[in-house]
Structure formats: C-alpha cells, structure tokens
Amino acid sequence: MADVTQDFFRSLADRGHDRRLTALHEGSVRFDISQDGQVDHWLVSIVKGDITVSEQATGGDAVVRADRAVFDRIASGEAYFLTTVLRGEATVEGSPRLFATVRRLFPPPPASQETRRRRGDHE
C-alpha cells in the first residue's frame, strides 16, 4: 500500500529546485502529521527555490499540523490545502508569506463538479 504522505515529501526532496519558489529568499515549514497518537515531523526548507526535506521535530518559520488522513488527501490532490485550513482540518502557524508560498508545493485544487460536468467527465 502506497504511503501518500511519505511519497509527497520524497517527491519534494527529489524535485530539488522549483522555479516558482525562487522569490523566497529563505524559509522553512515544519509539517506535523498525526496518526493514531503518533506524530511524524517533516521540515521543508526553501532557499531561492532550492528545496531540502528532512525528518525533524524542531524548527520551521511556519508549522502546518494535520491528521494523516487529511494530509494524504492534500498530498494526493484530492483536497486543496487552503480549503482544509479554512475548514479547520489543518492548522498553520507562523509566517503568512511563507504559508502563501508553501501552497505552491501541493497539487492544484481539484476541479469543481461543475467544471467536470462541462468537460464531460463522469463521477
């Protein structure tokens, strides 16, 4: 069975550089992902678009907290990061600028039902 969250962070590390993030001089976000009473920690550091990822329980200019099931949906593109935060399914603390930047790391928002209907997609 695939580990969506772990695969997401590995893909970020493999990406190495993301040109959409070059405006960010330097910043880091710690992701605290909880499941069954345990918390996995991932620290994503960005310097002028260069991305590094480590499993680290400390640090971060911003911290994102989410349940594993919620984060799996975000990482797979089934749910939009900002929407989960607005619904209270995930929380964010720290730099608002960094929060705005980190949204770019995730898949785009899922198409609305109306958009899928116009394209002729079936549910």
Amino acid present at 12: L
Give the pLDDT means over successive 10-residue stretches in the chain (123 positions).
86 89 87 96 93 92 95 92 92 87 80 54 48
Does residue 123 lie within any of the structural domains? no
pLDDT for the residue 18:
87
Tell me, yes or no, whether 121 lies in a domain.
no
Contact 46, 28 (CB under 8 A): yes
Tell me if 60 is assigned to some domain: yes
Asked if the structure places residue 122 within a domain, the reply is no
Is residue 114 situated within a structural domain?
no
Predicted pLDDT at 122: 47
Full residue range of the structural domain in which residue 10 is found? 4-106
Q: Cβ distance 8 to 47 under 8 Å?
A: no
Give the CATH number, domain containing residue 26.
3.30.1050.10
Amino acid 52 reads: T
Within a domain: residue 117? no
Buried b (16+ CB within 10 A) or exposed e, 84-119: bbeeebbebebbeebbebbeebbeeeeeeeeeeeee
Residue at 111 is within a domain: no
- Is the Cα dihedral 49, 110, 92, 4 positive or negative? negative
Task: Give the residue ranges of DSSP H helices in 16-105.
Answer: 68-76, 81-86, 96-102
| Three-state secondary structure string covering 52-65 | EEECCCCCCCEEEE
In a domain, 47, yes or no: yes
Q: How far apart are CA 3 and CA 40, in angstroms?
A: 13
Separation CA 75–CA 80 (nearest Å): 9
Domain count within the chain = 1
The full length of the chain comes to 123
